[in-house]
A and B are shown apart, each in its own frame.
Chain A
Amino acid sequence: MRVSHGFPSTKWQLVKHYAILTAVSVIVLFPFYWMFVTSVKPPEDILRTPPNWWPTAMEVVNYVKIWTTIPLFIYLKNSLLYAALSTALCVVLSGFAAYSLSRFRFKLRKLSIMAFLTSQLVPGTLTIIPFYFMMYNMGLNNTVIGIVLAYSIWAVPFCTLMLRGYLASAIPVSLEESATIDGCNKLGIFFRIALPISLPGIVATAIFSFILAWNEFMWASIILTKSGYKPLSVGMYDYIGKTGVTPAISLYMATAVIATIPSLIVFGIAQKHLVNGLTAGAVKG
């Protein structure tokens, strides 16, 4: 839906409009520029005060050296594995739950919605100490299962409510009723009717939980302490903790660039779905 508000667009107003947007873009994107520029600066550029705004030479070698300086490949592989698995688990759990909450009326429905709403608001730190001990006692520290659990349970409440809103508005009940008459059972209806129609909503849920898991730091830092299990976020934090701001910062910034790219790609591919999914719950229309 595109709305024209009848704004008179004089030339001066257009110039002002784009000037402001450009200025905001510069401020918003400056950290990314600085990250990239630093990642290709030769060591002698880093120590210069005041720092130069453009590198004197492009030092692409940082992007090669970083793979042997830290176990970057293992970090990347772990991050990808955890993000993919928790996305899968989150989509399955919240898909079923959202379907139930949007299609059926039952006794515990209100209470369940309350549980999801509350879980979305509870500080993660409220559960962190007992959760750590639960994982420890079950032997799930430094395991894939442990971290995937930690990631998906925090994404499930938000995703369920997001999908619920989507399902409630997207699927006509009459379609399901005719399927019931045709002899489809509830599970069949879910897979044959609800799932295909709500695919955009599911894509939104998936992107949301993927980015959440890829970016996550706190849970990983307590559950994954062995270096072979660490995801990129924790690996990077360890690395900067060891080096601080020194010439090695250019190597670090190269890692930062590598860590940001997957998030941006996933977001770029499907941002329309994500934005629609996020706003659909709050904005009815």
Chain B
Amino acid sequence: MKAFKASLWDRYAAYWFLLPALLCILVFIVYPSVRSVWMSFFNIELLNNAGQFIGFRNYTDFFQNGSLIKLIGNTLFFSIVSIAVACPFSLYISHLLNKPYWGRGFFRTLFLIPWVTPPVVAASVWKFILSENFSPINGLLLQLHLIKKPISFLGNIEWGFGPVNLPMLFMILVNVWSIFPFMMVMFLAAMQNISSDIYEAATVDGAGNKRKFFAITIPLIMPVMGITLLLQSIWQFNDFNTGFLLTRGGPLDMTNLLAVKVYSEGFLNFKYSSAATISVIMFLIVLIPSIAYIKTTGKEQFD
């Protein structure tokens, strides 16, 4: 009997080891996701707990009144521009830190600090720095006589076209500050993996530093760069913290993002079905880069 038990354990060991984590994911991630899709076909609200089946009306309503199109535009703009700015910046920093000069470990640690800072802390400090009345940036600009009255970086509603407005641009700036460390660390690791022989051969052939960077470094870190950018584009599209903690979508929805809208629709307006609908739309959009990500990393993970 004991031997039988032991063989049963050893035979299915792979499953026993995997089961707890897999079960958690199925129960707490997969099931609620499916449930969100189901909820999006009902009109469940605070005072209508059971809800009635209304088919696709949540979806058609959102697209008819156009409010969601604006949020999708905002979210795409926010995530794409954040990455477009953070990528070359972190590429440049990691290139600097890849040089064999003293202090690279020190600077790498220093630059990683924003990444481990609590988002609540980061957002409130930035909010303070970018405020109208107490901002050191405004103070500096006023002292230098570059501006006549303080700018409300996160509250300006006078200038802007769609997602291109002052609060959005400064929100992206704050976001770049918090996401560049992750990208830098990935790029740096990829760069350190390149054999020095290649660079030496290039030096012998008379290639300059710029040439080496674009003809050797960039192509060789491309696989890592591709994965990092895909992952970041998904994470930034899904991002809740920066959007909620910094501006909460305001002023006038100018910086409102889809994730923030799901939260406010669900937990401030108590329109659960409509919140679920937005989250499903988010998932459908993010599915495109997700499939690309799974296809590229999957090969490696499966072997």
CB interface residues, B 118-143, toward A, < 8 Å: 118-122, 124-129, 131, 133-136, 138-140, 142-143
- Bound complex: CA A150 to CA B9 (Å): 30
Contacts of B17 in A (CB 8 A): 96-97, 99-100, 104, 186, 190
| B286–A97 CB distance below 8 A | no
What 10 pairs across the A-B complex have the smallest Cβ distances?
A50-B139, A104-B14, A279-B189, A100-B17, A97-B21, A127-B32, A130-B32, A186-B13, A123-B238, A130-B35
| B134–A129 CB distance below 8 A | no
Interface string of B130-168 (1 = CB under 8 A from A): 010111101110110000001000000000000000000
A11 to chain B, nearest CB (A): 12
B188 to chain A, nearest CB (A): 8
Select which of A35, A126, A233 is within 8 A of B36 by beta carbon.
A126
Which segment of A1-9, A66-74, A197-205 sits at the interface? A1-9
| A50–B32 CB distance below 8 A | no
Contacts of A267 in B (CB 8 A): 112-113, 116
| A7–B209 CB distance below 8 A | yes
- Bound complex: CA A283 to CA B193 (Å): 8
Does B58 reach chain A (CB closer than 8 Å)? no
- Bound complex: CA A118 to CA B234 (Å): 11
SS class of chain B's interface: helix, strand, loop or mixed? helix
Does B87 reach chain A (CB closer than 8 Å)? no
Select which of A14, A31, A94 is within 8 A of B125 by beta carbon.
A31
| A25–B107 CB distance below 8 A | yes
| A28–B39 CB distance below 8 A | no
Does B85 reach chain A (CB closer than 8 Å)? no
Residue of B nearest to A271 (CB): B109
Given contacts A24-B93, A51-B136, A249-B134, contact A34 B113 (CB under 8 A): no
- Bound complex: CA A267 to CA B275 (Å): 36
Contacts of A116 in B (CB 8 A): 25
| A3–B196 CB distance below 8 A | yes
| A222–B267 CB distance below 8 A | yes
Does A236 reach chain B (CB closer than 8 Å)? yes
SS class of chain A's interface: helix, strand, loop or mixed? helix
Most chain A CB atoms below 10 A, which of B110, B116, B135: B116
| A50–B140 CB distance below 8 A | yes
What would be 27 A-B contacts, judged by CB atoms less than 8 Å apart? A6-B203, A24-B93, A28-B113, A29-B110, A34-B129, A35-B121, A35-B125, A47-B134, A51-B136, A96-B18, A97-B22, A113-B302, A114-B294, A123-B259, A123-B283, A123-B286, A125-B258, A126-B283, A134-B28, A153-B28, A186-B17, A187-B13, A217-B118, A233-B118, A245-B131, A278-B185, A284-B300
Does B169 reach chain A (CB closer than 8 Å)? no
Residue of B nearest to A211 (CB): B116
Most chain A CB atoms below 10 A, which of B120, B135, B199, B301: B120
Contacts of A122 in B (CB 8 A): 29, 33, 283
Contacts of B139 in A (CB 8 A): 49-51
Residue of B nearest to A93 (CB): B21
- Bound complex: CA A35 to CA B193 (Å): 37
- Bound complex: CA A116 to CA B192 (Å): 28
| B131–A282 CB distance below 8 A | no
Does B276 reach chain A (CB closer than 8 Å)? yes
Residue of A nearest to B138 (CB): A50
Count of chain B residues with a beta carbon within 8 Å of a chain A beta carbon: 113
- Bound complex: CA A227 to CA B110 (Å): 35
Most chain A CB atoms below 10 A, which of B125, B209, B293, B294: B125
Residue of A nearest to B195 (CB): A3
Contacts of A186 in B (CB 8 A): 9-10, 13, 17
Contacts of B129 in A (CB 8 A): 30-31, 34
B88 to chain A, nearest CB (A): 13
Does A12 reach chain B (CB closer than 8 Å)? no
Select which of A93, A127, A283 is within 8 A of B24 by beta carbon.
A93
Does B81 reach chain A (CB closer than 8 Å)? no
| A31–B126 CB distance below 8 A | yes
Select which of A96, A131, A215 is within 8 A of B20 by beta carbon.
A96
Interface string of B219-233 (1 = CB under 8 A from A): 000001001100100
Given contacts A29-B110, A50-B140, A130-B39, contact A256 B279 (CB under 8 A): no
Does B297 reach chain A (CB closer than 8 Å)? yes
Contacts of B107 in A (CB 8 A): 21, 25
Contacts of B189 in A (CB 8 A): 275, 279, 282-283
Given contacts A21-B96, A93-B21, A130-B39, contact A121 B186 (CB under 8 A): no
| B280–A126 CB distance below 8 A | yes
Contacts of A139 in B (CB 8 A): none
- Bound complex: CA A144 to CA B15 (Å): 28
